[in-house]
Chains A and B, each alone.
Chain A
Amino acid sequence: MVAARKNRDQPWLMRTYSGHSSAKASNTLYRTNLAKGQTGLSVAFDLPTQTGYDADSPLAKGEVGKVGVPISHIEDMDQLFDQIPLDQMNTSMTINATAAWLLSLYIGLAQRRGIDPTRLSGTTQNDIIKEYLSRGTYIYPPGASMRLIADTINYTVKHVPKWNPTNICSYHLQEAGATPVQELAYALCTAMAVLDRVKASGEIKPEAFPQVVERISFFVNAGMRFVEECCKLRAFGEMWDELTLTRYKVEDPRLRRFRYGVQVNSLGLTEAQPENNVQRIVLEMLAVTLSKRARARAIQLPAWNEAMGLPRPWDQQWALRMQQVMAFETDLLEYEDIFDGSPVIAAKVKALIEGAKREIENVEAQGGIIAAIESGYVKRELVGSHMNRLRAIESGDLKIIGVNCFQETAESPLTVGSDGGIMKTDPAAEREQIERLQAHRRSRNDSEVRAALQGLTDAAKSGENIMPSSIRCALAGVSTGEWGDSLRGVFGEFRPPTGIDIAIDSREVLGKKDQVTDLRERVANTGNALGRPLKLLVGKPGLDGHSNGAEQISVKARDVGFEVVYDGIRLTPQQIAQAAQEEGVHVVGLSILSGSHMELVESVLQELRLRDLASVPVIAGGIIPREDAERLMALGVRAVYTPKDFSLNAIMGDIVDVIRECNGLDRIGLLH
């Protein structure tokens, strides 16, 4: 047995992305995780908090405490960090549109606890640009979002210098289908847009600008093609070094280092044979740890049951142990960069850089990333890439073990427990959070709250930095919804292009061609039999931002001949039912991945009944556990699809049959 060398490198920061139900429950979870050897915190917020609504807003119904912790005001923040010393903790917060607010609550809490904000360290994700492309928790138009990012940067550089005010994200782009080249290009375009904006704000003296550049960190993805992914990270490092030197004239090479954290790819984690995800996660971690020159600063891993639902503490512990085994049992940290000098790696890195540079030029020629988002260009590119990925899975060109090959399996002992192998959040959480919030509102000083909110609105209008007035709001006891609404009043709201209007014949492979031809006939014949072309409404009710499934279903449906109405994410059940009525659709397809499917589907069904549309069939898809699927069917839903239904063609065939059956026509049956 050989003992580990003494002078090993420091391991990366190990985190677990977590938070659920309430500040209190999450605090307990964090303290247990820290006791298990986790070295930093990564906070998951619930969707109302991320989109600037209070727990008692009608839009928050069913979503409070579901996919993260609800933070409505400073007392919640206090409880979340109970017995956790803020000045010794490195806290990462996955928060974007409301990042300035959550950071204000954190700073306000530190001040209240007598801690100097200069001692706070951590990260706010605060890359609102990628929210328009993938993550979906945007609120305000792009111009206002850029300003909020710039304000937090300008503020923290001066007052909270150890804070990473923004983490430019390519992670989410890959989760929305991006290729490595697209990830590189769009993330770097975003970084440029942010830095240019900060520079233009004139708040930073030119000689201090390199410090701003240094504070920009990245949040990156790593998928199964781990050699290519490793090269992508080396490419990121080289491109960032060059960009910061040439464009921003940062002379000190240490300030040009590409600093990044990682969550490995979760899009490729499967519902079928979920235990295989463990191998996937470990292999993906190799990409971001193997090469010392391009090693991650912080890693958080998904759990084996990613595609089934939320992870339980034990599932997260298993993921943390993967990191610990890698860092402490292997000899990984004992070597210099093991790829330096490899011509194979160098050639791949070069190819990625060239591809990314071309795409960056392309975006710049369109007026930069913001213009290319507003025009829908970038989103269309992502939807197109994701479509290619799904087609490759469907045709078998891209093998996914247990999904499109090697499907036979013994029953898994992991999924048979009474909890179905996933975390169930506390059903009382929403009610309790609302009660807490309402009690809080009664306890605060109303005139202070009003004055603080007025200050916020004034700052938003005048263009003065938003942070000081937000911190004042935090200390006065303002709520998340009040902060969000005040800025809505000034900035307005925004819905980005959906990107599904990609050209039909621009992509060569159509999945299984004969099936597509067959489907087109079925769709056309059924339309003829019913008197008009088949029309499908794809709806995303609630605050859920997972759009991939809805987009791909929409594009596929169009390709096989449906007339498709898809209005993007975050609609109310009422809006969806109204669209179904006005559009006269033959079928309504709902896509819900946030876990709120029971509440949301039920309200859509009710809204449809209110409009005499009970006869329009409703189908649903997303992360829906089997028992819930049965309950939905009992409510009248005609079919439920989950990630293991990977064949979009088969789903289309099914939808045609659902429509036929509801209109008194015979089913046609399975595709060949």
Chain B
Amino acid sequence: MTSPTLPDPEQLAARILRGERAAVASGLNLLDNKLAEARNRSARLLAALSGERWLSRGHLIGVTGPPGAGKSSLVSAMIREWRLSGKTVGVLAVDPSSRPELGGGALLGDRIRIKNSSHDEGLFIRSLASRNQLGGVATEVWPMSWLMLACFDIVIIETVGVGQTEIDIAEIGDTVCYVAQPASGDTIQYLKSGIIEIPDIFAVNKCDLGAPARKTASEIGRSAPRHDRRENWDYPVCLVSATMNTGIRQLQEHCERHREFLANAGLLGKLRTRHQSAWVVRLLKEEFGTFGLELAGGRAVVGERLRENPSSQFAEYERLRQHILSRFMSVNQPSSLTKKEHLDEQTIV
């Protein structure tokens, strides 16, 4: 049995930075690969890609909302505009996997809606299954989005909103856009749940349907806090129609405005650092559970280390992993990390 050949990570990184599609594809394959040697090379690939660009470049936009709300159609309409203005776009489209006891398979159906029939070298779509991992979004999405951030101007992550996914998506995207389905129970449910505070932009789609869309928009307008408790960002609630192509420019402007807002307030880099640490936490939790994570000092320590050393998430993950492994060996001894390192994790939130 020979294992399939894996690409050289440094060379691959150089090709990805030049925007070579074949390299982007094999980079994504590598990041998805769980074999020990592949994980090794993934870390090297990401290390080679990391840098200032991960704190300041591009725009990561999370698009979420109930099934069938028109997320893909809206993404497609926005992409058309971005492509016209010459921006390149990478998309990660996440679909649910069936339960493990039912085989864990998945039908990845967003491509067809996102892609218009013409051939376009400036658009790259990778579909991904949620794979029943802790949250609603597979852990692979983080590194994959970072890879895309290294070579596309806009990176969009589409997920079906099912409660947990919103929380996850808020830990990936710079901007979270919630697509609401007019007059649907899902949206009402959503309004009642605490998750309403997550999105930065609300898009009520299918406004071509008239009254139901306007009603939903006003309901959201009433329920959503006008200002983020933490920041000075006004939540826009906009009416759009993907099929009629109405309101798309405005929606896009809201997205761009939000990014500018983050950048001007000096929040973009902080937010991304926080997302890097969220990923490390998640990986550690998946591998070692809450107990393991505590052995490494918990969320707070991870957060702090990444703030001190942004974009070092791979090295950090490896380091903490080794640390936990060794602590598992001698679990009875007191933690080597001191109390004072347990900082408040909510520094920028």
CB interface residues, B 89-108, toward A, < 8 Å = 97-98, 102-108
Are the CB atoms of B117 and A493 closer together than 8 Å?
yes
**Smallest CB–CB gap between A533 and chain B, Å?**
7
CB distance from A253 to the nearest CB of B (A): 40
Additional pairs, 11, CB under 8 Å, beyond known A559-B102, A611-B21: A504-B98, A520-B103, A530-B33, A531-B32, A558-B106, A560-B105, A565-B108, A566-B107, A581-B21, A583-B111, A583-B126
User: Are A375 and B22 within 8 A (Cβ)?
Assistant: no
* CB pair A533 B129 closer than 8 Å: yes
Residue of B nearest to A611 (CB): B22
User: Which chain B residues lie closer than 8 Å to A583 at the CB level?
Assistant: 108, 111, 125-127
Interface residues of A in 486-511 (CB under 8 A from B): 493, 495, 498, 500-501, 504-505
A449-505 interface with B by 8 A CB criterion: 493, 495, 498, 500-501, 504-505
**With A558-B98, A584-B25 given, is the CB distance from A564 to B106 under 8 Å?**
yes
What B residues does A575 contact at CB under 8 A?
A: 117, 119
Q: Which residues of B contact A582 (CB under 8 A)?
A: 21, 25, 124-126
> A228-236, A341-349, A662-670: which lies at the B interface?
A662-670
Q: Is the CB of A563 within 8 A of B102?
A: no
Interface check B335, CB cutoff 8 A: no
Pick from A498, A528, A666: contact of B109, CB under 8 Å: A498
Chain A residues with CB under 8 Å of B38's CB are 531
* Min CB gap B290→A, angstroms: 26
**Interface positions of A from 569 to 597, Cβ below 8 Å from B:** 572, 574-575, 578-579, 581-584
Is A562 in the interface zone, CB < 8 Å from B? yes
B112 within 8 A of A: yes
Of all A-B residue pairs in the complex, the 5 with the closest CB atoms, nearest first, are A531-B33, A531-B35, A561-B103, A558-B105, A664-B2
How long is the Cα–Cα vector from A356 to B112 in the complex, in angstroms? 32
Residue of A nearest to B4 (CB): A663
Least CB distance, A499 to chain B, in whole angstroms: 10
Chain B 54-97 interface 0/1 with A at a Cβ cutoff of 8 Å (1 = within): 00000000000000100000000000000000000000000001
Q: Can you list 8 A-B contacts with CB-CB less than 8 angstroms, sorted by A residue number? A: A376-B68, A493-B117, A554-B107, A558-B103, A558-B106, A558-B107, A566-B109, A663-B4
Contacts known (A558-B98, A578-B119); A501 close to B107, Cβ less than 8 A: yes
* B34 touches A (CB below 8 Å): yes
- Report chain A residues within 8 Å CB of B125: 582-583
Query: Are the CB atoms of A495 and B1 closer together than 8 Å?
Result: no
- Are B104 and A574 in contact (CB-based, < 8 A)? no
With A584-B28, A611-B22, A664-B3 as given contacts, are A564 and B107 in contact (CB-CB < 8 Å)?
Answer: yes
Check B1–A664 contact: CB distance below 8 A.
yes
Interface pair A532/B111, CB less than 8 Å apart: no
- Chain B, residue nearest A579 (CB): B111
The yes or no answer to B29 lying at the interface (CB within 8 A) is yes
Minimum C-beta distance from A552 to chain B (A) = 13
Nearest-neighbour CB distance to chain A for B245, whole angstroms, equals 10
A553 to B73, CA, bound (A): 26
Q: Considering the complex, give the chain B residue whose CB is closest to the CB of A610.
A: B22
Q: Of B4, B29, B117, B124, which is within 8 A of A664 by CB?
A: B4
Most chain B beta-carbon neighbours within 10 Å: one of A520, A568, A572 = A520
Does A612 reach chain B (CB closer than 8 Å)?
Answer: yes
Nearest chain A CB to B87's CB is how many angstroms away?
18
Q: Which residue of B lies closest to A561 (CB)?
A: B103
For the complex, is B254 an interface residue (Cβ under 8 Å from A)? no
Q: A531 is contacted by which of B1, B34, B117 (Cβ under 8 Å)?
A: B34
Which B residues lie within 8 Å of A532 (CB)?
29, 32-34
Judge whether A375 and B68 touch: CB under 8 Å. yes
Number of A-B contacts (CB under 8 A): 111
Interface assignment of A557: CB less than 8 Å from any CB of chain B: yes
Q: Give the interface residue-count category, chain B.
A: 35 or more
Cβ contacts B114-128/A at 8 Å (1 or 0 each):
010101000011110
Q: Which residues of A contact B112 (CB under 8 A)?
A: 495, 498, 567-568
One of A528, A562, A579, A666 near B1 (C-beta < 8 A): A666
The answer to whether B103 and A559 touch across the interface, beta carbons within 8 angstroms, is yes
Task: Select from chain A the residue with minimum beta-carbon distance to B108.
Answer: A565
| Contacting pair A563 B129 (CB below 8 A) | yes
Q: How far is the CA of A272 from the CA of B98 in the complex (A)?
A: 35
Give Cα A566–Cα B109 distance, bound, in whole angstroms: 7
Segment 620-672 of A: residues with Cβ below 8 Å from B: 663-666
Residues of B near A375 (CB, < 8 A) are 68
Complex: A495 Cα to B114 Cα, angstroms: 11
Residue of A nearest to B103 (CB): A561
- What is the distance, in angstroms, from B77's C-beta to the closest C-beta of chain A? 12
Residues of B within 8 A of A557 (CB): 105
Contact B1 A665 (CB under 8 A): yes
Contact A524 B126 (CB under 8 A): no
Residue pair A574, B98 in contact (C-beta under 8 Å):
no
A523 CB-CB contact with B under 8 Å: yes
A533 to B95 alpha-carbon distance, docked (Å): 14
Known: A531-B33, A578-B119, A584-B28. A561 touches B1 (CB 8 A): no
* CB-CB under 8 A for A584 and B108, given A375-B68, A575-B119: no
Q: Which of B4, B26, B97, B98 is within 8 Å of A530, CB to CB?
A: B4
Chain B residues with CB under 8 Å of A495's CB are 112, 117
**Bound complex: CA of A572 vs CA of B127, how far in Å?**
20
Query: Bound state CA distance, A549 and B139, in angstroms?
Result: 33
Q: Determine if B29 and A584 form an interchain contact, defined as CB atoms under 8 angstroms apart.
A: yes
Residues of B close to A665: CB separation below 8 A: 1
Q: Are B109's CB and A501's CB within 8 A?
A: yes
Question: In chain B, what residue has the closest Cβ to A521?
Answer: B103
Q: Which of B25, B32, B105 contacts A559 (CB under 8 A)? A: B105
List residues of chain B with CB within 8 A of the CB of A567: 111-112, 115
Is B214 among interface residues, defined by CB-CB distance under 8 A? no
B299 within 8 A of A: no
Nearest-CB residue, chain A, relative to B25: A581
Is residue B259 within 8 Å, beta carbon to beta carbon, of the partner chain? no
List CB contacts (< 8 Å) of B123-165 with chain A.
124-127, 129, 131
**A561: contacting residue among B2, B104, B124, CB under 8 A:** B104
What separation, in Å, do the CA atoms of A162 and B257 have in the docked complex? 62
Does A612 lie within 8 Å of B126, measured CB to CB? no
Measured in the bound complex, the distance between the Cα atoms of B2 and A666 in whole Å is: 10
Task: Give the distance in Å from the alpha carbon of A11 to the alpha carbon of B296 in the complex.
Answer: 86
Residues 1 to 30 of chain B near chain A (Cβ within 8 Å): 1-4, 21-22, 25-26, 28-29
The answer to whether A563 and B106 have CB atoms under 8 Å apart is yes
Distance from A60 Cβ to chain B, minimum over Cβ atoms (Å): 15
A579 to B68, CA, bound (A): 22
Bound CA–CA A523/B1 (angstroms): 17
> For the complex, what is the distance from the CA of A663 to the CA of B4, rounded to whole Å?
6
**B22 and A574: CB pair below 8 A?**
no
Q: Is A565 a contact of B111 with CB atoms below 8 Å?
A: yes
| Across-interface contacts of A530 in B (CB, < 8 A) | 4, 33, 35
